[in-house]
A and B are shown apart, each in its own frame.
Chain A
Amino acid sequence: MGSSRLRAAGDWLEQRLGLRPLFEGSAGHLVPSNASSWWYVFGSATLVCLVMQIATGICLALVYVPSADQAWESLQHLDFEQPFGWYLRGLHYWGSNFMVALMTLHMIQVFLFGAYKYPRELTWLCGCLLFLCTLGLAFTGQVLRFDQNAYWGLGIGVSIMGRIPLLGESLTSLVLGGPILAAETLTRFFSLHVFVLPGLVITLVVLHLRMVLHNGINEFPTRGRGVDPETYDAEYAELIERTGEPFFPNAIHKDLLFSAVVIGSILACAAIFGPKLPNGPPDPTLIDTVPRPDFYFLALFSVFALLPPYMETFLIVYVMPVVVLALFAIPFVSRSGAKHPADRPVAVAGVVLVMTTVMTLAVLGLSSDWSPHMDAWKSVAVPVEMVEGRSPLELRGAAVLQAKQCRNCHALDGSGGKRGPDLGDVATRLTEDQLIRQVLQGGGNMPAYGKNLSPPEVAALVAFLRTLSPADAAIAQNSADPLGG
């Protein structure tokens, strides 16, 4: 009795709202049964992340103060005073990490399965735009942390933009709200992160989904079968006819399960690893930290750090736009033909190559050996075994090594900066003359110290460096002087 009354109420509502066709055109649409695969879950999981980001983002915006002098403080408040404020920040932080990672997986899957080919070219294009917007959200979000990483990261980002010919200067002041980083900068990034980019993303997601529905989900690729734009539509219609099943409630269960795992992982990561604490406040006079971006930009960070400076402008102005355009152009260049990855070895090799490069660069970025260790000279001790048994002159040499901040770039047996070579065994590599020349004239990326060291300082420094050899190794000698000297 109860159920029939419910049904009557439902029918009454349906008559007025007309939801059924909407449902049949969306969640209830038919998908090829072979598309209900574990490979197809990344897109929906990315969407789930987006929803979580919006929810946690709204909560964060309740506390966050987008003003240059209070932003940093308000995050401190969330992290340390507000109950569970840290957890909220953790969720948003890990949500963004998962979102970027899942989106990348989704793109790789779509690429490998040839899903971008006819008739889904625009779906791919729209996806690429979504990818860029998401990276934009990640970057602007990082800036909102408004700590030293943000400060220096933004500085680097802006100097990248400044290199763009003609437009550079106006773009810079558009982004910064002036020629330098200031209060206006933060409010701009806030409105980008909270209004502009999410608005764009939502619009693009709607378009993206509309196209997925309209063109149907890509069928699971079959070996040896490609896309022929002439016949594809008929083939797809036939496939749906034969094997179609409604997405909801049939095909959706894998997506639901995977999304649940993703949500669980985000909850767990936030609980176990917590949020990323802002490091020092954005004060250009504090130089005690090594700025390092979040993981999605580590690879780019490494590229810029490792490239010789004269390559940077070239990379920014020419290579980056070309890479983005190439990404957009994929479906127009390879519009038809094989879909199955086994039939497309070059595409697979390309993915492997790109991903290994990006990962390697990111790992390099994680240790960022090229940045000097700014405090090593006064905070990293000279290893005791390099102090014991040294003469008074050699001891002073070690103090000179510290005082002249050589240690910021050079390690002694692994401790200290990693920009230059470890000096722990330098005596086995360089003779006294070579040491003196290297110290006075520099070379190989090392500045010349000739003007900054007095003769006794050079003598003491070289005397100390000459003692740095593992106990069993031979000391480098001048070959013209076999008796040593």
Chain B
Amino acid sequence: MSAARETRRSRFRALLAVSVVVLSACDSLPGKPDPADRYVRPDAVMDFETLFAANCTGCHGEGGRQGPAPLLGDPLYLAYAGPRELRRIVSDGVPGTSMPAFLDEKGGTLRAAQIDALVAGMQASWGMAGRFAGRRLPPYRGTRGGDAGLAYARARGRASFQIFCAKCHAAQGGGTPKAGSVFEPSFLALVSDQGLRTAVVAGRPDLGMPAYYAHAVGRPMSDEEIADVVTWMAAHRVEFPGRPFSQAAPFVGKEP
């Protein structure tokens, strides 16, 4: 084996090595399109974070917190609502409120599989399935009594409101420096009964409102108290809310 042949071979190897380095450097040039930038049709997006950011943050806030619409990024809320209710609400929306229907068949922009991905993602990212495993939570859907029961419920609700809520929301409406009125007819016209119930059960810990078990009173609210307080708030709905426009009418509550 001649020396010349030897050097030729090593030169060839060096050349090979250099071209491999150059080629791989080319492959990591800054202009090379990042596969992550590859266009995905909006109806093919399945990534939870992307879906939530593109469809929900506008109203529910980043991470489902501190938005004007109800708190979603909260373990208690997610355990209390459960995947079935979440799927139904996101698909159908909440009629009469600003929560739109997202399912394509209902006029929305998401496919059923995407809604499943959203619900699963919320549970996985923000829920803590284990934490509420042993605990009995108030059921998602409340009960309402008959007409006679309704009058009682209102009276009881008024009393419970005094105990649990008046400190912040003021018993007669109008609100306190800690929180605004929950009896504003226009507010009540834009919130569902279920929305009121959710507010009482899950609270708005992101905005300073305690959940049903965390009130300063020292004991959690019972299922009845929750239902009664909601009934009492709902009793303040009026027939023509929001008129005249210039001033939401001052509270003229119907006594039970």
Binding site for B on A (CB under 8 A): 76, 79-80, 83-84, 86-87, 90, 147, 269-275, 277-281, 286, 288, 375-382, 384, 387-388, 390-400, 402-403, 407, 432-433, 436, 440, 454-460, 462-464, 485
Contacts and interface: CB of A to CB of B under 8 A. Distances in A.
- Chain B contact-residue range equals 35 or more
A391 B32 contact: no
Given A380-B58, A391-B179, A457-B190, A272 B30 contact: yes
Contact of B41 (A280, A436, A459, A464): A280
B186 interface: yes
Given A80-B35, A382-B61, 8 more contacts: A277-B33, A378-B56, A378-B57, A378-B59, A391-B179, A396-B68, A403-B98, A457-B242
B57 A380 contact: yes
B179 to A, nearest CB: 7
Interface stretch (B6-14, B131-139, B243-251): B243-251
15 contacts: A79-B38, A84-B26, A87-B32, A275-B31, A281-B41, A381-B57, A391-B179, A391-B187, A399-B69, A402-B69, A403-B98, A436-B245, A458-B242, A460-B187, A464-B68
Interface in B10-52: 26-27, 29-33, 35, 37-39, 41-42
Interface of B: 26-27, 29-33, 35, 37-39, 41-42, 53-59, 61-62, 66-69, 97-100, 175, 179-182, 184-187, 189-191, 207, 240-243, 245-248
A274 B179 contact: no
B42 A455 contact: no
B41 to A, nearest CB: 7
Give the secondary structure class of B's interface: loop
B59 A399 contact: yes
B190 A456 contact: yes
Contact of A460 (B27, B61, B186): B186
Contact of A274 (B31, B62, B100, B184): B31
Contacts of B27: 83
Contact of A391 (B31, B33, B62, B184): B184
Nearest to B190: A396
Counting chain B CB atoms within 10 Å of each CB, the highest count among A271, A387, A393, A454 belongs to: A393
A398 B69 CA distance: 8
A171 to B, nearest CB: 32
A280 B32 CA distance: 19
Contacts of A391: 175, 179-181, 184, 187
A485 B56 CA distance: 35
Contact of A395 (B29, B31, B68): B68
B187 A396 contact: yes
Given A280-B41, A455-B245, A392 B57 contact: no
B213 to A, nearest CB: 21
Contacts of A396: 68, 98, 186-187, 190-191
Contacts of B69: 395, 399, 402
Nearest to B184: A393
Nearest to A478: B246
Nearest to A463: B248
Nearest to B31: A274
A271 B26 CA distance: 8
Contacts of B191: 392, 396
Contact of B54 (A378, A397, A456): A378
A32 to B, nearest CB: 42
A86 B32 contact: yes
A76 B58 contact: no
Contacts of A460: 186-187, 190, 242
B247 to A, nearest CB: 8
A381 B58 contact: yes
Contacts of B29: 87, 271-272, 274
B100 to A, nearest CB: 7
